[in-house]
Amino acid sequence: MWGKMMQDGQFDRENFNIGPSMPSSPGETLCAAVSASAWVEPHGKCTIAFALAWRYTKFYGTSERAAVDLVHDALTNYKHWEEEIEKWQSPILEDIRLPEWYKFTLFNELYFLVAGGTVWIDSSSPSADVKSDQDPPIKVESKNIKVTEAEMNCRHSTGFEHTSTSGCNSSTGVGLKQNGSSTIPRKKRSSKHFSHHLKTEDQLDGNEDVGRFLYLEGVEYIMWCTYDVHFYASFALLELFPKIELNIQRDFAKAVLSEDGRKVKFLAEGNYGIRKVRGAVPHDLGTHDPWNEMNAYNIHDTSKWKDLNSKFVLQVYRDFAATGDMAFGIEVWPAVRTAMEYMEQFDRDDDGLIENDGFPDQTYDTWTVHGVSAYCGCLWLAALQAAAAMAQRLGDKFFAETCKTKFFSAKSAFEKKLWNGSYFNYDSGSSSNSKSIQADQLAGQWYTSSSGLGPIFDEFKTRSSLQKIFDFNVVKVKGGRMGAVNGMHPNGKVDESCMQSREVWTGVTYAVAANMLLAGMEEEAFTTAEGIFIAGWSEEGFGYWFQTPEGWTTNGHYRSLIYMRPLAIWSMQWVLSPPKAIIEAPKINMMDRIVISPATFSLSLPETRVRKIANKTACFGNSSLQCTC
């Protein structure tokens, strides 16, 4: 085809009359192309519209004409679709208070939602709940994702224009707007809420079935909906596709109450365990048989990780608070309580605070942690606060009191063991990096503040820690033009104790910037996030546009291109434009509204006291999973 175009500049018309082509064989790669020509007067312009479509079987059926019908609709409606996209983007693109680089990077990072190995299937698909002998499951082979036509509702159509102007060379491309400038002056921006598109419960169509959604951690890490990373990326889905986000949380809520007893060998320690432990949030929804065979990750035993359960509780509460979906809250509450109760085993000195176990038991899975850690400990404090608030709203006052009691005890222990006067130490151990400045040390407070809850720490500790991160992890790395390095020694040298401590993580940098916005540090926030734009998206950077990696080192060497976590830039927009429910949340600390009765509580209580709540939630039907909910 390329030779034909180079020689003649067009295809032979008789190709259209030779009938349908032969079906491709398994593993065979075919290509197709169309061309069009038009006469362009001097100084004139001619626009030719092309459309590319996959069959969208849920609404267009499975006939041979389905794709043709979809192409027809794309060509006749794409201008209206473009107008709607402009209407959605304009309030941000035209806001003179926002840096130009931020505006288009915000939209461009959304490429991952369609380029990240995304699978979107109908809820009625057999693979959604029960493994069927008659319907083949979704299969993933190496880096090429193959989905059976019967199971996959391909929800893609695009119409775009190729405009050719006389006297110019033109090329076509599909993408979001990007400003070519690499150095953009920062403008002062006053605090103000921008328009928000998130719909609350009364605006969402309760009967709408949006299906089930999967996306990969990255094209090099082939695991569906990796949860410790979704923690950062989920702001984009909640902002733009809230019902999909709620369904992902429902999937993990079901998983919490399930167990898979099949033996698995964990590579780092060389020991064996079971694939999925009841009460533990899974690391991912699987690879080869998603939903049914979870935890494709097998480097460490993630049932012993200290961040996953807290992240589940925090995401559920944020989604519950932002959407006001009471039915969702009631449905997932048993899993929330179970996830909190599960974590009690990691509080070994009964101070209310969980401890890490001397291995990388967190999303930073090469960065060893000893004792109490700033990252996991702060997430746990936040989870206690979120669980208390959710329990209060659902009528489970006894559990709300329990979490509040734990919170105050754990917070006191956390500050005593980690606060050094200007920031929280990496951990309470005695290793060479225990006093390192971790960029992500306030991840828990980022979430509680984003969810309308009160601050975990006083303003001095919060601002002091964030300022330390800015002065050291950001500014001391190439003058702040690369993002925030994960670990920095207090002497100003990068923490080289492991691969991840010395990396700049793009998504974490965006999250830190969002945390700075929440603390009123706008100039520092945009400077921090701009480092990712400069290194990854600008003309003077490393050329990572539309393939933003998980991270890079200070010399620009990347790891894991096309990665989920950079969607966390939408957490910045969440702060700039919070949903109505968050804006109108009571300005008092939810923890102050819970009255503690004169008793000593354990998180493990015999009954769930939630109004109108069933004692079970829906479970996975696969026989390999034993639900004990």
Give the burial class of 616: count Cβ atoms within 10 A of its Cβ; 0-12 exposed, 13-18 middle, 19 or more buried.
exposed
> What are the tokens at 622?
């696969």
Residue 180: strand, helix, or coil: coil
Q: Are 138 and 148 in contact (CB under 8 A)?
A: yes
Q: Are 322 and 581 in contact (CB under 8 A)?
A: yes
pLDDT at 215 (0 to 100): 98
| Average pLDDT, 10 consecutive residues per value, the chain (629 residues) | 86 75 83 86 93 81 86 94 96 95 97 93 55 33 31 31 33 30 33 45 61 96 98 98 97 98 96 97 97 96 98 98 96 98 97 97 97 98 97 96 97 98 98 97 98 96 98 97 98 97 98 98 98 96 96 94 98 95 75 66 44 37 38
What is the distance between the alpha carbons of residues 463 and 473, in angstroms, rounded to a whole number? 15
Please give the backbone phi and psi of residue 308, each rounded to the nearest 5 degrees, phi first.
-65, -45
Residue 571 within a domain? yes
> What are the tokens at 426?
């990496």
DSSP of 111-150: GHHHHS--EEE-TTSHHHHS--SSSPPPEEETTEEE--TT
Sheet holding 551-552, edge to edge: 504-505, 551-552, 558-559
DSSP of 337-402: HHHHHHHGGG--SSSS---EESS--SSSTTS--EESBHHHHHHHHHHHHHHHHHHHHHT-HHHHHH
Residue 292 within a domain? yes
pLDDT at 45 (0 to 100): 94
Number of domains, the chain: 1
Residue 575 within a domain? yes
> What are the tokens at 300?
């460490």
Q: Quick one: DSSP state of residue 519?
A: T
Three-state secondary structure string covering 8-69: HCCCCHHHHHCCCCCCCCCCCCCCCCCCCCCCCCCCCEEEEEEEEECCCHHHHCCCCCHHHH
What is the distance between the alpha carbons of residues 300 and 273, in angstroms, rounded to a whole number? 10
Residue 241 within a domain? yes
Domain of 348?
Answer: 212-584
Residue 150 within a domain? no
Question: Containing H/E element for 236?
Answer: helix 227-240
Residue 68 within a domain? no
- Tell me, what CATH number does 285's domain have? 1.50.10.10
Three-state secondary structure string covering 182-204: CCCCCCCCCCCCCCCCCCCCCCC
Residue 529 within a domain? yes
Residue 549 within a domain? yes
